[in-house]
Structure 1
Amino acid sequence: MPSGREVAYAHLKDTVLSDPAMQGQFVNEQALADEIGVSRTPIREALLLLAAEELVQLVPKRGAYVAPVSGKEIRELFEIRAMIECYAARRAIELAAVPLEAMRRELDDQRGLSEEQAREFIDHDHRFHSALVAAVGNEMLSKTYDGLRARQIRAGVEALFRSDGRRKSVLSEHEEILSALAAGDPEAAAAAITEHLSATRQVLQSG
């Protein structure tokens, strides 16, 4: 059974920090404690962990602040994602280990979601990409990629809220990636991934 700190940490990382409305806001520790049924101590312990990951800022006498995603953070996130995902595409094709069925399931699930299910849409988005990274079989690489998850989901949800047509574009871009992977064309797959990430980055940096 997970501890109170673990429950608070998971809730903060997966729900609170991915909410665009929380950008530029302070975390209400008591409200959060009441919401998930723990005391404020596990909340504070979880916030210390998140501060160490630079996902929140601890401000003396004010609490934990969720800073808006900076241009520098966006640039660095997508540079790292491009390096990992393009390598994974080339390597998975080389190993004949492309997880086409798993990626197709995630894409099909994305298509079935309503406009209000932005968070669920981005959860499937993350699993679509992480399936490809995991297929390489490099545990250190997968752990590094998984470490980006909170920032990736936060950025993805924000992109959907900023651009009305982004959801449709993501589905089309995912199809392009799958087509290139299915064709066993590493350069086309890397190009499709690069274009997909660049499009999301441009939406985030346009504001």
Structure 2
Amino acid sequence: MQSLSGRDKAYSFVRDQVLTSPAATGTFLNEQELATRIGVSRTPVREALLMLQAEGLVEMVPKRGAHVPAMSGRQIGELMELRGVLERHAASASLKAGAPPVSQMRDALDRQEHLADTRTAEGAKEFIDLDGLFHQILVDAAGSELLSRTYAGLRARQLRVGLTALFAAADRQRNVCSEHEAIVAALEEGDEGLVHRAIDDHLEVTLQILLRA
């Protein structure tokens, strides 16, 4: 298996470990500190940050470095709208193929339910990681590599807003599990309209929590 280049290692680390944290919002990233943590020189870190700038995840500010901007209400709304389009399409495609990923999604949900009452930062991060897995399984079931890659590209934003929502609403973890159960149950029934409504309801609740946060 080909090893990752220094740039790719830095890119993956910053995107998946740094930018997923709500605490990163509004901060400037220290290139040398990142290089030390990742075990590479500053050059690949700089290259990775430029890639992340192209994706809109950081802003390069002259003489200051890479800034992690807050997501505006409009951007959060657009993220949820895009998620809805992709997830509804994937659900319809999987039902049409007669292969909705019920067992895989339920496995991810079962693991979430074991963490539903945890209140630690580590537990919340694991819960949101499983949240991402739950939805990615649904999208992957459409059988489209491009669709799956597009959805996976939203990961850093989704994890950041997901963690924000968990800490902004009481019992959000339990409620997420209930909303996920509604999606899985609708898939089991094979009811396309019901699945779409369950997806929309889940995303709308999350959106309203984030807009109030």
Scaled to the shorter chain, the TM-score interval is: over 0.9
Take 2:157 and 2:45, find their aligned partners in 1: how far apart are those partners? 20
Q: Which residue is equivalent to 1:154?
A: 160
Secondary structure, in 3 states, of the residue corresponding to 1:18? coil
Q: Which residue is equivalent to 1:87?
A: 89
Give 1:15's match in structure 2, choosing from 14, 17, 28.
17
Write out per-residue CA displacement over residues 91-136 of structure 1, whole angstroms, 9 at most, x where no aligned residue: 2112111011110111111122333222211111111111111111
Write out per-residue CA displacement over residues 132-179 of structure 1, whole angstroms, 9 at most, x where no aligned residue: 111111222222222212211121112112223211110110011111
Q: Which residue is equivalent to 2:106?
A: 104
Secondary structure, in 3 states, of the residue corresponding to 1:182? helix
**Is the 1:82–1:194 contact (alpha carbons within 8 Å) kept by the matching residues of 2?**
yes
Sequence identity percentage = 51
Q: Which residue is equivalent to 1:69?
A: 71
Structure 1 unaligned spans of 5+:
none
The answer to whether structure 1 residue 194 and structure 2 residue 196 are counterparts is: no
The count of aligned residue pairs is 207
Give 1:55's match in structure 2, choosing from 57, 70, 74.
57
Take 1:19 and 1:143, find their aligned partners in 2: how far apart are those partners? 21
**Is the 1:71–1:205 contact (alpha carbons within 8 Å) kept by the matching residues of 2?**
yes
Residue type at the aligned position of 1:119? K
The alignment's C-alpha RMSD in Å is 1.2
Q: Report the CA distance between 1:185 and its aligned residue.
A: 0.7
Q: In terms of mean alpha carbon deviation, does 167-176 or 106-115 score higher?
A: 106-115
Residue type at the aligned position of 2:192? P
Write out per-residue CA displacement over residues 26-76 of structure 1, whole angstroms, 9 at most, x where no aligned residue: 012222222222221111111000001010000000000001111111011
Residue type at the aligned position of 2:142? V
Alignment of 1:121-160 (within 5 A): 121-160=127-166
Take 1:53 and 1:85, find their aligned partners in 2: how far apart are those partners? 21
**Is the 2:21–2:159 contact (alpha carbons within 8 Å) kept by the matching residues of 1?**
no
Structure 2 unaligned spans of 5+:
none
Residue type at the aligned position of 2:119? E
Q: Which residue is equivalent to 1:115?
A: 119
The answer to whether structure 1 residue 168 and structure 2 residue 174 are counterparts is: yes
Q: Which residue is equivalent to 2:209?
A: 203
Residue type at the aligned position of 1:182? E
Q: TM-score, normalised by structure 1?
A: 0.96
Q: TM-score, normalised by structure 2?
A: 0.93
* Runs of 4+ deviating beyond 4 Å: none
Q: Report the CA distance between 1:196 and its aligned residue.
A: 0.3
Give 2:184's match in structure 1, choosing from 172, 178, 185.
178
The answer to whether structure 1 residue 36 and structure 2 residue 38 are counterparts is: yes
Give 1:5's match in structure 2, choosing from 4, 7, 11.
7
Take 1:204 and 1:133, find their aligned partners in 2: how far apart are those partners? 23
Take 1:52 and 1:193, find their aligned partners in 2: how far apart are those partners? 30
